[in-house]
């Protein structure tokens, strides 16, 4: 029996143990359409029960010693390491990941657990000065029950980066993965923490549709909502959470820019640009969606990028050595193709790609764009690289900032020029002489503008801010004197 054997989870969800569900949904391989299994689907009523149970178990979990909570997180990291090959297979087949991306994601999950294992031992507050004869403390307390709603693209790590720190800091968690990646984004996490020794009832896996997500947000016991996904859905969650006076950490979309400065090494820049635009078929919030290239290099850069795009094979990553796997489903495939064809109809030119290839999409390069074309304005979430030119760094800064999103920017070339440009850019992340896709468990991660609420996942300070409440505590040697 394997670690992720469907005998454990088939037709079930996990809420105080694995429970059979009358409602089920298939687990589908996007490359072939084959059925990989069946998961149980939760209902809003299941969410209500899970939230009540999570609130019961959370207090005991928060009272567990820091050493014990740290040990669970360390064991989770060890289990991810031990079962990495099996987990990567699921990321390849269920999420359409190429093998290298699956390995990268599993490595991030391992790092996340080990990084979060240190959180219980970090300082939990600070000593304040006081005008009175007393001790004055600001201490961090667990928020309580945290709702985590995760996407399909990096399903494992984008769920775990909220689940792991929330658990480490003494919270209980309700996890709702995307229905299309319920195993790699849900079952894997539940099984890991089950085997790591997390007490039953602290982590609940609740696969389902939007109604289940709404129930997670609205459950009275849930005090913090951590959502990663599209900006329109994030806006709706933020509005609902605001009405209920709950904190919502929203990590949303991006239309990220890669700026190629004059004098940059074109071959290296094109390699960086191809990686940024085509990794995981462009289905990453940090994907390079806009290539802004100095006019002196734009023709050479475009030709080099197009050559790389033409050389990238599309296929089934579970059965072939390919650079691009399938898009997550047919709807997303047709949406990407529609954006490309609409932009071409408006006057853009194809330098490479622009074609559906089975369940995937050819790596695409577009030129001749205007800034009102959909391929430039929208987050495509596909392997498409639109290219425009600029003359001055002032113009480059204007083009970068002329976007509703502000998640990640890469700048390639002279470091001094890049530093001055970085100071003028509105973006949660700026990478000099790197492309736009980068993440580490100890680094803050978050966007500006329509890319989210600046949630800054990653690192002890950001995690404490996200998943704890600050409580003011004072202590006096004797009962104070009062004038009444």
Q: In 3D, which of 85, 109, 112 has the Cα closest to residue 99?
A: 85
Distance CA 407, CA 430 (A): 9
- What torsion, rounded to 10 degrees, do the Cα atoms 435, 440, 444, 447 define? 40
Q: What is the Rg, in whole angstroms, of the alpha carbon atoms belonging to the chain?
A: 24
Question: Which residues are paired to 371 by β-bridges?
Answer: none
What 333-340 contacts at long range (C-beta under 8 Å, 24+ apart), as own/partner pairs, is 333/359, 333/360, 333/361, 333/382, 335/381, 335/382, 336/282, 336/361, 336/380, 336/381, 336/382, 336/383, 336/384, 337/361, 339/374, 339/375, 339/378, 339/380, 339/382, 339/384, 340/364, 340/366, 340/375, 340/384
C-alpha distances in Å from residue 326, one per residue of 283, 293, 345, 346 = 10, 29, 25, 27
37: alpha, beta or left? (left if phi > 0; alpha if psi -120 to 50)? left
Contact, 279 vs 257, CB < 8 A? no
Q: Catalytic annotation on 116?
A: no
252: exposed, middle or buried (C-beta count within 10 Å: 0-12, 13-18, 19+)?
buried
The contacts of residue 171 (CB under 8 Å, 6+ apart) are 58, 61, 62, 142, 143, 144, 145, 146, 224, 467
Active site residue 285: yes
Separation of alpha carbons 453 and 12, rounded Å = 34
**β-bridge mates for residue 357, sequence order:** 360
Q: How far is CA 263 from the centre of its chain?
A: 34
- Cβ distance 70 to 77 under 8 Å? no
Query: Which one of 94, 251, 379, 403 is the catalytic residue?
Result: 251
Listed residue (161, 207, 211) closest to 456, CA to CA? 161
For 230: left if phi > 0, alpha if psi spans -120 to 50, otherwise beta; the answer is beta
Q: Which two tokens stand for residue 371?
A: 């800034």
Catalytic pick among 88, 285, 379, 403: 285
Catalytic residues: 251, 285
């Amino acid at each position: 029996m394997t670690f992720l054997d469907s005998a454990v989870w088939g037709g079930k969800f996990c809420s105080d143990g694995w429970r059979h569900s009358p409602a089920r949904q298939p687990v589908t391989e996007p490359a072939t359409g084959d059925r990989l299994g069946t998961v149980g689907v939760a209902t809003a009523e299941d969410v209500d029960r899970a939230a009540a149970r999570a609130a019961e178990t959370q207090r005991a979990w928060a009272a567990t010693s820091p050493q014990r909570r740290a040990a669970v997180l360390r064991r989770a990291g060890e289990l991810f390491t031990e079962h990495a090959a099996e987990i990567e297979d699921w990321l390849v087949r269920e999420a359409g990941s190429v093998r290298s991306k699956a390995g990268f994601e599993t490595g991030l999950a391992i790092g996340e657990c080990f990084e979060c294992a240190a959180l219980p031992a970090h300082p939990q507050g600070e000593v304040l000065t006081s005008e009175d004869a007393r001790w004055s403390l600001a201490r961090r307390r667990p928020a309580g029950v945290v709702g985590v709603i995760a996407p399909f693209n990096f399903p494992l790590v984008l769920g775990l980066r909220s689940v792991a720190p929330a658990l480490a800091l003494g919270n209980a968690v309700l996890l709702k993965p995307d229905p299309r990646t319920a195993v790699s984004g849900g079952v894997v996490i539940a099984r890991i923490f089950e085997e790591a020794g997390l007490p039953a009832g602290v982590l609940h896996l609740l696969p389902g549709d939007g109604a289940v997500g709404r129930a997670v947000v609205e459950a009275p016991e849930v005090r913090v909502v951590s959502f990663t996904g599209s900006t329109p859905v994030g806006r709706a969650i933020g509005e609902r959470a605001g009405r209920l006076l709950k904190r919502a950490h929203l990590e949303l979309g991006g239309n990220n820019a890669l700026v190629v400065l004059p004098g940059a090494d074109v071959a290296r820049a094109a390699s960086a640009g191809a990686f940024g635009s085509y990794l995981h078929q462009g289905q990453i919030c940090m994907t390079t969606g806009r290539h802004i290239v100095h006019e002196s290099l734009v023709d050479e850069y475009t030709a080099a990028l197009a050559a790389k795009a033409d050389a990238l094979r599309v296929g089934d990553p579970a059965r072939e050595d390919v650079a691009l796997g399938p898009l997550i489903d047919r709807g997303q495939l047709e949406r990407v193709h529609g954006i490309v064809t609409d932009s071409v109809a408006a006057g853009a030119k194809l330098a490479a790609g622009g074609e559906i290839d089975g369940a995937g999409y050819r790596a695409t390069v577009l030129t001749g764009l205007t800034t009102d074309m959909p391929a430039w304005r929208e987050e495509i979430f596909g392997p498409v690289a639109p290219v425009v030119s600029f003359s001055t760094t002032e113009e480059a800064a204007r083009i970068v900032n002329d976007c509703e999103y502000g998640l990640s920017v890469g700048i390639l070339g002279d470091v001094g020029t890049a530093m001055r440009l970085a100071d003028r850019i509105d973006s949660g992340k700026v990478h000099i002489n790197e492309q736009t896709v980068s993440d580490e468990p100890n680094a803050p991660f978050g966007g500006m503008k329509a890319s989210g609420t600046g949630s800054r996942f990653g690192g002890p300070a950001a995690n404490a801010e996200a998943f704890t409440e600050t409580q003011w505590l004072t202590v006096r040697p004797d009962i104070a004197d009062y004038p009444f």
